[in-house]
Structure 1
Amino acid sequence: MVARLIVALTLLGSAPAWAAEPSGCDKFKWPIDKERAALTAQDRLKIASGADLAIPAAATLDLKTPAEAKLPTSPERKPKDGTFAGFTRFQKAPKAGTYTVSLSSYGWVDLVQDGEILKPMEFSGATDCAGIRKTMKYDLAAGPFVIQVSGVTENTISLAVLPSE
């Protein structure tokens, strides 16, 4: 009985280590060089929430409080108090295919196309990688879509939307 208790306490004590996120640029599930370069480019656009972009896109998005951001669709995850949100529209229809959506720092992404929030096909993220925090792959139909970002701790975030290779 004591042995079982010791094993259980040992496992519980190491549980936070199981939940730790990968750290470092080499911990992403696929190469991120293109996305990281786009997110850190000196000439990336600076846009207000609600602005239009076209693919390929790399921009720093100005964010607002969730109430002021007026996201077109309710986010899947309710933003915490004290965080920021914003969105950008892609009106020009890209060709159907797989695209990466990448963020410079932590944030929740809702990609909305034809009134539906799309789930990413794949997701990868790591801490301690300058310029990029997470990247997701989406299978998009040809047509306009919206990217909403919420739960961001700063009032700006860089995002990149690029064709996936």
Structure 2
Amino acid sequence: MKKVTISLFAILAGTSVAMAADSGCDAFKWPVTREQELFPAAPAAQSGGAVTVGQAVDFTLAAVDTISFAVPPERAPAAGTFGATANVAVPPEGELQISLSDEAWVDVIQNGQASKSVAFSGVKTCPGIRKSVRFKLAAGAATIQLSGAKKENLKVAVLAPE
């Protein structure tokens, strides 16, 4: 009888450990380990600057009603929220993965039009990373628009998808 009890306990313990891992950062559709490494040392950035693919920045956001967005955000930001814009050079592969430390809306504008995301993953239980969005773009200049953030700071990683 003891062996059965111990075995059942071991099975249940292993299941709860696996469930706990799945409820955190492992619950994203793709790995976010690069973001976890980049976010702690992300340099400060202001709206309107440039971001480089392969890096993360820590934006000081401005009130959304003070930002000149190239195209209105796809999701209208609530009053009293924050946002920023940033220029990025899209690499020849044309794929970007933009990850955010907190809740906010992200649009990527290229050639005067908002680009539709091709994949999205969001997890509320991953410390320091809230969402990750992938875009397929043309190589060249693009603008990242952030809006609807409830806090004045937002860490943003701009990476090539793995």
**Pairing 1:150–2:151 present:** no
What is the match of residue 160 of structure 2?
Answer: 163
What is the match of residue 69 of structure 2?
Answer: 71
Q: Which segments of 5 or more consecutive residues in structure 1 lack a partner in the other structure? A: 1-21
Offset of residue 23 of structure 1: 4.4
Normalised TM-score (structure 2):
0.81
Q: Does the Cα contact within 8 Å between 1:94 and 1:144 map onto a contact in 2?
A: no
What is the match of residue 86 of structure 1?
Answer: 84
Q: Which segments of 5 or more consecutive residues in structure 2 lack a partner in the other structure? A: 1-21
RMSD: 1.5
* Amino acid in the other structure paired with 1:41: P
Offset of residue 150 of structure 1: 0.5
Q: Does the Cα contact within 8 Å between 1:107 and 1:150 map onto a contact in 2?
A: yes
Offset of residue 94 of structure 1: 2.1
Normalised TM-score (structure 1):
0.79
**Pairing 1:140–2:140 present:** no
What is the match of residue 116 of structure 2?
Answer: 119
Query: How many Å separate the matches in 1 of 2:61 and 2:112?
Result: 22
* Amino acid in the other structure paired with 1:68: T
Of residues 47, 50, 57 in structure 1, which corresponds to 2:48? 50
Offset of residue 52 of structure 1: 1.4
Query: How many Å separate the matches in 2 of 1:132 and 1:105?
Result: 6
The count of corresponding residues between Structure 1 and Structure 2 is 141
**Higher strand proportion (structure 1 or 2):** 2
Q: Does the Cα contact within 8 Å between 2:78 and 2:148 map onto a contact in 1?
A: yes
